[in-house]
Amino acid sequence: TSEEAASAHTDATSGATSALKQLNEDGTYSAFGAGDIHFADVNNDGIIDSKDKQVIGNPNPDFYGSFTTSLSINKLTVSAALAYSIGNDVYNYSRSQLESGSTLSNQTSTMLTRWTGEGQVTNQPKAVYGDPMGNARFSDRWIEDGSYLRLKNVKVSYKIPLKSSFIESFDVWASASNLVTLTKYLGIDPECSSENSALFQGIDNGLLPLTQSCQVGFKLNL
């Protein structure tokens, strides 16, 4: 509400309350109001600026790995490979552009829940062209848990029985990749990187994600 925004800052000395502010390029100050993001005033000076920056997010997982399993019944074999990552953070740059509410470009359906009136409870701030209060600036609003469990590959093969003097074996198989991914990440793919460098790991800038694919084939041993 406007009342909550007007008392978001408490002076450590006097105990007086006031709105959080930001310094504009022309030297004036603008106060954060109802519907704006409530940023952390780390140094408690009542002004949101570079002095309030903190280290946020870590693209390195706490645990990661993969495991496989295989089951054979007579001439039929089914195998699967799974991969997982736990504790890695992802900067969802794509969402920061598609949910900023600051331009005339297309936005996601999340914007339908944006703040529009006093007392509304929502995680989506109000939409203002140009974003004068910097609600869409880089913050932990865009940092998400990138943990996932992915079914990387499933393969089914069948050995066709043959009685031949020159064909030793004949197998037919079918496989599928990236069928299922279990994750809370809101983007397209939690296994992302904007570039090959380690400095760009965990940044989702909308590059083509891993796609689902299917293959069929046969193996003939003479």
The predicted-structure confidence for 20-71, as pLDDT tens digits, reads as follows 999 999 999 999 999 999 999 999 999 999 999 999 999 999 999 999 999 9
Q: Shortest CA distance to 31 belongs to which of 53, 63, 7?
A: 7
Is 198's pLDDT higher than 90?
A: no
Is 165's pLDDT higher than 80?
A: no
Is 162's pLDDT higher than 80?
A: no
Percent of the chain with pLDDT over 70: 100
- What is the mean predicted confidence (pLDDT) over 145-153? 96
What pLDDT, on the 0 to 100 scale, is given for residue 32?
A: 97
Is 174's pLDDT higher than 80?
A: yes
- In the 8-state DSSP scheme, what is residue 12? T
What pLDDT, on the 0 to 100 scale, is given for residue 52?
A: 96
In which band, very low, low, confident or very high, does the pLDDT at 208 lie, cut at 50, 70 and 90?
confident
Q: Shortest CA distance to 7 belongs to which of 34, 30, 28?
A: 34
Is 97's pLDDT higher than 90?
A: yes
Average confidence score pLDDT of the chain: 92
Contact 40, 32 (CB under 8 A): no
Is 87's pLDDT higher than 80?
A: yes
Q: CA–CA separation, 34 vs 2, rounded Å? A: 5
Strand runs (DSSP E) across the chain, as ranges? 9-10, 17-18, 21-23, 29-31, 63-73, 76-86, 89-92, 143-145, 148-160, 169-183, 203-204, 213-221
- What is the mean predicted confidence (pLDDT) over 79-108? 94
Q: CA–CA separation, 69 vs 82, rounded Å? A: 9
What pLDDT, on the 0 to 100 scale, is given for residue 222?
A: 75
Query: Under DSSP, is residue 172 helix (H, G, I), strand (E, B) or coil?
Result: strand
Average the pLDDT over each of 151-155, 182-186, 196-200, 209-213 and give the range with the smallest value. Answer: 196-200
What pLDDT, on the 0 to 100 scale, is given for residue 196?
A: 78
Q: Across-strand partners of 9?
A: 18
Is 170's pLDDT higher than 90?
A: no
